[in-house]
C-alpha cells in the first residue's frame, strides 16, 4: 500500500443512508427546452459552477455536451480543468477569472478566463498568445464582477491594452431577472446594449436562466442558464416549466413513540401535543439539510412557520424539534401503519416536495440547497451520460 492511500477517504462499507438520484435525461431535456426558447442563431451555453450546482461536473457536463451544449461556464480554475477532463471539444470559461499562477495550466487545457478587471486585462494582454480566447465581463449595474463603463472607455481609447486578446464574448449578468417586472432588468439591458456596442463584431452573452424567460431582447448571441437546467425555479411566482432532475431521500433508522407532553431533541424545544410516532432518519445539517429546517428551537421558527418536511409516499411528514448534525426526527403519526412498515426511506425533495419548496422551508433558495448537499449522499445517475 502506498502512503497516499492512507489519505484517501475510507471505502464505504455497507449501504448508504442518503441517496441522491440525478436524472441526466431530464437534465438534457431541460437544456433543449431552454435552447428552444431562444432563436436558432442563439447559442445556449450551460453554467456548471460549484460542481454543476452540487450534482457532479463529471456526469452533468458530458450529458449536456451530448445534448448539444458547446460552451460551459464554471466559477473557478479547478472546475474548469475537471470539465476539460470529461469534455474535449467544448469551450470552457472561468467566471471568477484565472489567477496568474494557474494561467499556464489552464491555457494548456484550453480553459479560458472571463476577464472582469483592469489588472486582469493587463495580465492577460501580456500573457496570451495570438488568438487565445477569453471573455470580457462588463458590469451593467450589479456591482459584482465586471469592468465599469469608464474601464471600457479607457480600454477602447488605448486598443493596444488588449494585446493579443481576442474576446470571444462580451458578457454581463442580470441582478433581478427572477422578477420579470423589476425595472432594473430594462436598465441593465440598455446599459449592456450601449457598452457591448463598443465591441463591434464580438458575440454577446447576457441572460442567466431567468433572463432566458425575459424574452428575445435579452438573448443576444448566447444565453447562460444554470439553475433551470437542474429543474429548480428561475422565475418567482410563476409555475415552473422545468423537469425535475434531482431526488433526495434518507433512510429511517428507527421509529419510536412518545406520549403527549414529552420533548424531542436538543434544547427540548418541542413539546409533543399528542402521542406521536417519530421516525429518526440519518440526515442532518452536515448533509446540507439546514438547521433552519428544524420544526422549532431555531430563529427562523420565530415567525410562526412550521419548518421542514419530508414525505413518505404521498404523506408529508414534518420535522419535529431541532435537527442535529447527522439526525432528524420526523413526525410520522399520520402515515398509515401498513405504509410505514414498508417504508425504508423518507423523501427530502424531488417528487412530492419540490426543491424550491424544500428550500423555502428553511428560508433559502434551491441554489443553496443543491450546492450544500454534502458528501454523504450516494449519487445515482439515470439516463445518458
Catalytic sites, residue numbers: 49, 266
293-312 residues near ligand PLP, rule: CB under 6 A: none
Instruction: Tell me if 332 contacts ligand PLP by CB under 6 A.
Output: no
49-68 residues near ligand PLP, rule: CB under 6 A: 49
Cell of 102: 494557474
Helices (H), the chain: 24-36, 49-53, 57-67, 77-86, 103-108, 118-127, 149-157, 183-196, 209-213, 337-341, 355-361, 366-371
Instruction: Tell me if 225 contacts ligand PLP by CB under 6 A.
Output: yes
Contact (CB, 8 A) for 294 and 307: yes
Binding part of the chain for ligand PLP, among 30-38, 77-85, 223-231, 322-330 by CB under 6 A, reads 223-231
The sign of the torsion formed by the CA atoms of 369, 32, 190, 235 equals negative
Instruction: Tell me if 224 contacts ligand PLP by CB under 6 A.
Output: yes
Cβ atoms within 10 Å of 3's Cβ, excluding its own: 6
Q: Which residues contact 270 (CB under 8 A, 6 or more apart)?
A: 263, 264, 295, 296, 297, 320, 321, 322
Binding part of the chain for ligand PLP, among 7-15, 102-110, 207-215, 348-356 by CB under 6 A, reads 207-215
- The interface mask with ligand PLP, positions 239-258, x = CB under 6 A, is --------------------
Binding part of the chain for ligand PLP, among 204-212, 284-292, 347-355, 376-384 by CB under 6 A, reads 204-212
Number of residues that bind ligand PLP (CB under 6 A): 11
Among 56, 62, 97, 226, binds ligand PLP (CB under 6 A): 226
Instruction: Tell me if 91 contacts ligand PLP by CB under 6 A.
Output: no
Residue number with CB closer to ligand PLP (106 or 223): 223
What is the DSSP-derived secondary structure letter of residue 338? H
Output the smallest distance, CB 209 to ligand PLP, in A. 3
Contact (CB, 8 A) for 48 and 56: no
Distance, CA of 76 to CA of 74 (rounded, Å):
6
Q: In this structure, what are the phi and psi dihedrals at residue 112, rounded to the nearest 5 degrees?
A: -110, 150
What is the DSSP-derived secondary structure letter of residue 138? B
CA dist list (Å): 38 to 188, 220, 296: 19, 9, 45
Point out the residue whose Cβ comes nearest to ligand PLP.
226
Among 84, 173, 322, 376, binds ligand PLP (CB under 6 A): 173
Instruction: Tell me if 366 contacts ligand PLP by CB under 6 A.
Output: no
Residue number with CB closer to ligand PLP (83 or 209): 209
Residue number with CB closer to ligand PLP (300 or 365): 365
Among 18, 227, 312, 323, binds ligand PLP (CB under 6 A): 227
Write out the residues near ligand PLP by the rule CB under 6 A: 47, 49, 95, 173, 208-210, 224-227
Amino acid at each position: 500500500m502506498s502512503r497516499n492511500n492512507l489519505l484517501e477517504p475510507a471505502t464505504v462499507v455497507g449501504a448508504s443512508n442518503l441517496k441522491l438520484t440525478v436524472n441526466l435525461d431530464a437534465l438534457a431535456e431541460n437544456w433543449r427546452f431552454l435552447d428552444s426558447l431562444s432563436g436558432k442563431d442563439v447559442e445556449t451555453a450551460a453554467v456548471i459552477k460549484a460542481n454543476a450546482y452540487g450534482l457532479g461536473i463529471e456526469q452533468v457536463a458530458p450529458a449536456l455536451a451530448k445534448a448539444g451544449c458547446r460552451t460551459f461556464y464554471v466559477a473557478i480554475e479547478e472546475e474548469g480543468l475537471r470539465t476539460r477532463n470529461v469534455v474535449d471539444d467544448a469551450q470552457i470559461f472561468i467566471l471568477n477569472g484565472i489567477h496568474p499562477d494557474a494561467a499556464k495550466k489552464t491555457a494548456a487545457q484550453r480553459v479560458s478566463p472571463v476577464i472582469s478587471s483592469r489588472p486582469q486585462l493587463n495580465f492577460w494582454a501580456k500573457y496570451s498568445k495570438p488568438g487565445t480566447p477569453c471573455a470580457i465581463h462588463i458590469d451593467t449595474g450589479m456591482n459584482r464582477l465586471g469592468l465599469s463603463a469608464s474601464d471600457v472607455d479607457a480600454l477602447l481609447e488605448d486598443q493596444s491594452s488588449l494585446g493579443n486578446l481576442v474576446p470571444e464574448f462580451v458578457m454581463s449578468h442580470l441582478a433581478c431577472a427572477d422578477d420579470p417586472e423589476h425595472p432594473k432588468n430594462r436598465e441593465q439591458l440598455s446599459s449592456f446594449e450601449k457598452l457591448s456596442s463598443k465591441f463591434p463584431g464580438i458575440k454577446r452573452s447576457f441572460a442567466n436562466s431567468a433572463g432566458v424567460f425575459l424574452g428575445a431582447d435579452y438573448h443576444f448571441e448566447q444565453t447562460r442558464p444554470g439553475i433551470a437546467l437542474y429543474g429548480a425555479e428561475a422565475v418567482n411566482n410563476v409555475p415552473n416549466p422545468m423537469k425535475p432532475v434531482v431526488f433526495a431521500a434518507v433512510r429511517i433508522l428507527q421509529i419510536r413513540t412518545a406520549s403527549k407532553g414529552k420533548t424531542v431533541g436538543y434544547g427540548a424545544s418541542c413539546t409533543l401535543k399528542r402521542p406521536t410516532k417519530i421516525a429518526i432518519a440519518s440526515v442532518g445539517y452536515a448533509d446540507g439539510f439546514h438547521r433552519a429546517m428544524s420544526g422549532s428551537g431555531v430563529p427562523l421558527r420565530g415567525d410562526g412557520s412550521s419548518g421542514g418536511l419530508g414525505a413518505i409516499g404521498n404523506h408529508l411528514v414534518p420535522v419535529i424539534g431541532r435537527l442535529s448534525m447527522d439526525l432528524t426526527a420526523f413526525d410520522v403519526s399520520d402515515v398509515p401503519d401498513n405504509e410505514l412498515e414498508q417504508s425504508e426511506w423518507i423523501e427530502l425533495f424531488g417528487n412530492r416536495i419540490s426543491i424550491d419548496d424544500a428550500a423555502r422551508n428553511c428560508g433559502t433558495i434551491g441554489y443553496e440547497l443543491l450546492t450544500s448537499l454534502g458528501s454523504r449522499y450516494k449519487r445515482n445517475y439515470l439516463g445518458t451520460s
